Structure 1
């Protein structure tokens, strides 16, 4: 089983954790609200988990262009 962190804006893979057993509290996923979990976490048929986050490049772009926060996707 793997947990794959991907940027929700550009789709870039940020990190992958390959573990047989993963404690979600150690990853901080238990701190998310139910809505945040629904939006950010996707469970795959093979047991992998995709977590939508933001990469450094997209975070920097949002910092320079705050109005991008209004958009669902700012990278076309």
Structure 2
């Protein structure tokens, strides 16, 4: 099943990755705690997995306003 990618801040869809196992391999290579890995990948009731990343627009906003890193989300 494909893994959907969306921005963790603005919820914009960023496409999908067809190879779920490849996604898990990439996540496992990152210096993240188990809790951070679970936050990065979520699953809904239907079993659809979502990779929560940051889009270019939100990354630019965070770069210009580093204090926003303190928040889980900054777009209301």
TM-score w.r.t. the length of structure 1 is: 0.79
RMSD, aligned CA = 1.8
Maintained 8 Å contact 1:4/1:51 = yes
Once residues 18 and 46 of structure 2 are traced to their aligned partners in structure 1, the CA distance between those partners, rounded to angstroms, is: 13
Pair member with larger Rg: 1
Equivalent pairs counted in the alignment come to 73
TM-score w.r.t. the length of structure 2 is: 0.79
* Aligned position for 2:40: 40
Residue segments in structure 2 that go unaligned for 5+ positions in a row: none
Maintained 8 Å contact 1:2/1:47 = no
Runs of 4+ in 1 over 2 A off after TM superposition: 21-24, 43-48
